Amino acid sequence: MRLIRTAALIAAAVLLNACRLIHGFHPDCHKPQEYQRAAQLAPLKVPSGLDSPNTQGALVVPTVDLAAPPPGPHDACLDTPPRYKAAPANKAGTPSS
Write out pLDDT tens, residues 71-85: 777 777 777 666 777
**If pLDDT is split at 50, 70 and 90, which confidence band does 6 have?**
very high
User: What pLDDT shows up at residue 94?
Assistant: 61
Separation CA 8–CA 14 (nearest Å): 10
Separation CA 65–CA 68 (nearest Å): 10
C-alpha distances in Å from residue 50, one per residue of 47, 57, 62, 92: 6, 20, 29, 75
Separation CA 58–CA 41 (nearest Å): 14
Write out pLDDT tens, residues 7-53: 988 888 887 776 666 545 555 677 777 877 888 788 888 999 999 88
Q: Can you give the pTM of this predicted structure?
A: 0.33
Separation CA 5–CA 11 (nearest Å): 10
User: What pLDDT shows up at residue 87?
Assistant: 77
* Cα dihedral 27/28/32/38 (nearest 10): 30
